[in-house]
Amino acid sequence: MNLDPLSVVVLMFPNVTQLDFTGPAQVFSRFPNARVHLAWHSLDPVPTDAGWCIVPTTTLENWPAADVLFVPGGAGTFDLFTDQTALDFLRRQAATARWITSVCTGSFALAAAGLLTGYRATSHWASLQMLEEFGAVPVSNRVVRDRNRITGAGVTSGIDFALVLAAEVYGDEIARNIQLAIEYDPEPPFDHGSPAKADPQIVQEIITATYNLRAAAVRNAADTLLAAER
């Protein structure tokens, strides 16, 4: 069990999916001897997709070094493709971080920064296969670990991701106790929470709509990444 001080640095951005962040953050809050930092361009409140804001605690220029680098998802992740300051921030943090992590489409920000090339990773099911554009290996699991990369699938999987991270850092006993403390024992009212359980036609329609909406931005960002690596 590791009880050394732990710095968790989270990249905030406009139109972040709040549960992608707040689900894991509730688990992070119970990490022993850990501090969570929320980084963005300024300390101004950052709007979420839920209509309310989260206030950053630090900036991309004055960031503390991360032991855990974490990127939540949301529509705003695709806007990060053209934000070189944010992508450079991810690269600099990743150079020394022990764990490089994401939930939902946060994996696309990591991928655009070149941090998932050759790694197995997951994301929200509607966008998952587009990770291939960046040289990542898409895996349709709720949580995927490949070396020091841990990625969670869509939205609610952030709690699972954070508990997996807790077990990696502190051991199973502390992770189990955190799960008990937050009473994470889901019993959803509908057995309809994954594409494997939903109407295949509806699933395909959503995948197609997501692809049509995001494909050009993903392809442009992937081409830019590949050009920079040559």
Q: What is the pLDDT of residues 124-183, one digit of tens each?
A: 999 999 999 999 999 999 999 999 999 999 999 999 999 999 999 999 999 999 999 999
pTM above 0.85, yes or no: yes
CATH classification (class only), 6-229: alpha beta
Q: Which of 94, 112, 100, 27 is nearest to 70 (CA)?
A: 100
Our answer to whether residue 104 is catalytic in this structure is yes
- Give the whole-angstrom CA distance, residue 61 versus residue 58: 8
Quick one: how far is CA 195 from the chain centroid? 20
For 156-221, the DSSP string reads: THHHHHHHHHHHHHH-HHHHHHHHHHTT-----SSS--STTTS-HHHHHHHHHHHHHHHHHHHHHH
Domain limits, the chain: 6-229
- The answer to whether the beta carbons of residues 139 and 122 sit under 8 Å apart is yes
Q: In 3D, which of 29, 30, 225, 211 has the Cα closest to residue 125? A: 211
CA angle, 226 as apex, 11 and 59 as ends, to 5°? 20
Q: Is 94 left (phi over 0), alpha (psi -120 to 50) or beta?
A: alpha
Which pLDDT belongs to residue 2?
Answer: 54
Q: What contacts 138, CB < 8 A, 6 or more positions away? A: 121, 122, 123, 128, 129, 131, 132
Q: Beta strands 143-146 and 137-138: pairing type?
A: unpaired
Which residue out of 6, 16, 54, 104 is catalytically annotated? 104
47 in Cβ contact with 53 (< 8 Å): yes
Q: Which residues of the chain have pLDDT under 70?
A: 1-2
CA dihedral (139, 143, 145, 150) positive or negative: positive
pLDDT of residue 230: 77
